[in-house]
Structure 1
Amino acid sequence: MAVTPLLSALTRLAAVEAHSRTSSRCPCRADTLAERADATVVRHADVVAKAHAPDVSVADLAPRLAAAARLPHLLLPPLTPVPASLHDRLVTFWPYGVPVDPDTPDAAPWEEAAALLARLHRTPAPHALPPMRGPVKAARAVLRLREVSGEHPAVGPVLRAWAGLPGWARGAVPMPDTATLCHGDLHLGQLVRHPAPDGPWRLIDVDDLGTGVPAWDLARPAAWYACGLLPAEEWARFLAAYRMARGPAVPADGDPWPALDVPARALTVQTAARALAKAVARDKPLDEVEECLVDACERMASVPDQLPSSSAK
């Protein structure tokens, strides 16, 4: 991986923060955990420094950091309450937590993730927390696809599936729920054990935290299950644990899909749009998983959504 100026400066910041928090000798070992257009993340010792997306402002981030600091039993709390500034990017500092191991899928903490999510959804949202950003991120993925798509044959099904969604799921109008606390981008990569190595699971990444429709936080595993990409047993474990923890996103029993259908469709379109935009930009064919997502988008146009009409506007 090339060492960019941002990555180099972020590593130095992480080292300074790590040194300031310990009197023992720092091991001076830095790891790049992520380097994307929307986030660069570096670990130095027990400190993780994250450079947020260029368009993230203090007004966006500050109330979300404050919420994480107030809810340490659910969210990994930041080490510092105020973001730093680096190369026109905001930087936050976090304690290191052990992530879910992608190489041991049988040990994936579906029940723990569901229970955390249910507790988050039942927690009163802190004052002045902005709306959850899930629908806005989905809209940006589709906009990016329109910009780079060209004449790729898979673009049509994805855009038709997007056009069939209600306005709130496309970020075009406010969400029908403006009170429930939501994570906004839930997947297993958003969990860590803290304190490391075997502390309780906590949710990370507050960039999209806010108020909104709680079913959005169940939508990614629901979408993968509907597309045949997540085994039915794992989906059943996740859903049962969420219900057992009295999560409000779905009914306590019976069919959950009237609540999950629209968010699951939106996450399917978002994931397909991102994958297709990358494939077009790199001039590479879609892989098997990406083909499944596009096929699911194509099927959506022929199957009406299950959300009650009063909530779909």
Structure 2
Amino acid sequence: MTSAAVPLLAGLTAKARAAAHARSSACPCGATTLADRPDGLVVRHADTVAKAHAPGTEPAELAGRLSVAARHPDILLPPLGRAPATLHGRLVTFWPYGAPVDPDDPDAAPWEAAATLLARLHRTPAPPGLPCMRGPAKAARAVTRLREAGPHPAAAPVLRAWATLPPWARAEAPMPHAGTLCHGDLHLGQLVRRPVDGPWLLIDVDDLGTGVPAWDLARPAAWYACGLLPPEEWTRFLAAYREAGGPAVPAEGDPWPALDVAARALTAQTAARAVAKAAAAGRPLDEVEQSVVDACDRMATVPPQLAQEHAK
């Protein structure tokens, strides 16, 4: 954490403590920092979590996303209030604490729950005025950071793969048929249980909005294509999504024409972040990072499949 962020952490901790004691007199010792990234600082105190959102977050857009979470507590963890606070120029929201997925127990990963929640989210009508899902914009920023990171031998295949994508996947044009309510940044870290033995819920509404639903399936699809997700886990995820009536892929047959573009974009985004970090640290890529760069190298030689509705 930079010295400039220390006052933000102290203030956020104080706000989390105040919000927690407004709901309960119980007070476990101290506070815990759950995340410390440029796009979000997250602090837990007792049963309350406070999040400072990324600088420049639009208040109206965040309020709209919070409203969606509040209206659908069986899909998304509902916030504690719908109006963000302000702290050191950052918008702050409050949430009940939920137990996350255990990263040390991959066999217990809730792939079926994640897929079912996504399908239910995708079938939920999006309210008027909700902003676009931010997935493609985040991918484009990762590629921009790669270009700004300086020369690295692994950058070229990533940029070649990125260049094969249609403009909407590079955030250079509107997403086609983008009226579906989407999470925008789905991975297993975006699920919690509340209570700890209760049902899984989705968290993190920062990227929530309307868009192409295939984007929400793209990260596990990309991991599967890169050999990072076992085929049986991908099959469980896809089968559960279809069983729950998810609209991102056809109910039967080959799902890949619907997923290929988004999966390629997420692969390029992951590789761009990895290469940029390696370049900044002056280190070689590790095995996982190299696998996504190798996937980009392969992608650059084969045009992406385009689903019928995406090709219009």
TM-score, length of structure 2 as denominator length: 0.97
Matched residue SS, 2:125 = coil
CA contact (8 A) 2:151 2:279 kept: no
Give yes or no for the alignment of 1:177 onto 2:182. Answer: no
Distance in 1 of aligned mates of 2:244 and 2:302 = 31
Aligned residues: 310
Deviation at 1:312, TM superposition (A): 4.0
Residues 212-231 of structure 1 deviation map (CA, whole Å, 9 limit, x = unaligned): 10000000000000000000
Instruction: Trace 1:227-242 onto structure 2 (pairs within 5 A).
Output: 227-242=226-241
- Identity value in percent: 74
Deviation at 1:282, TM superposition (A): 1.3
In the other structure, the counterpart of 2:137 is 136
Distance in 1 of aligned mates of 2:211 and 2:192 = 24
Distance in 2 of aligned mates of 1:279 and 1:255 = 36
CA contact (8 A) 1:167 1:312 kept: no
Deviation at 1:126, TM superposition (A): 1.6
In the other structure, the counterpart of 2:198 is 199
CA contact (8 A) 1:168 1:312 kept: no
In the other structure, the counterpart of 1:10 is 12
In the other structure, the counterpart of 2:187 is 187
Residues 253-290 of structure 1 deviation map (CA, whole Å, 9 limit, x = unaligned): 10000000000000000011111111111112110000
Distance in 2 of aligned mates of 1:151 and 1:108 = 37
Matched residue SS, 1:49 = strand
Instruction: Trace 1:72-221 onto structure 2 (pairs within 5 A).
Output: 72-148=73-149, 150-195=150-195, 197-221=196-220
Instruction: Trace 1:30-41 onto structure 2 (pairs within 5 A).
Output: 30-41=31-42
What 5-or-longer segments of structure 1 have no aligned partner?
Answer: none
Residues 97-132 of structure 1 deviation map (CA, whole Å, 9 limit, x = unaligned): 000000000000000110111010011112211110
Residues 192-233 of structure 1 deviation map (CA, whole Å, 9 limit, x = unaligned): 0012x1111100000000011000000000000000000000
Deviation at 1:301, TM superposition (A): 1.1
Distance in 1 of aligned mates of 2:30 and 2:303 = 53
Deviation at 1:308, TM superposition (A): 3.8
CA contact (8 A) 1:97 1:192 kept: yes
Matched residue SS, 1:279 = helix
Deviation at 1:28, TM superposition (A): 3.9
TM-score, length of structure 1 as denominator length: 0.96
CA contact (8 A) 1:32 1:42 kept: yes
Matched residue SS, 2:147 = helix
AA at the equivalent of 2:292: L
Distance in 2 of aligned mates of 1:291 and 1:312 = 31
In the other structure, the counterpart of 2:44 is 43
Would you identify which runs of 4 or more consecutive aligned residues in structure 1 move more than 6 Å? Answer: none
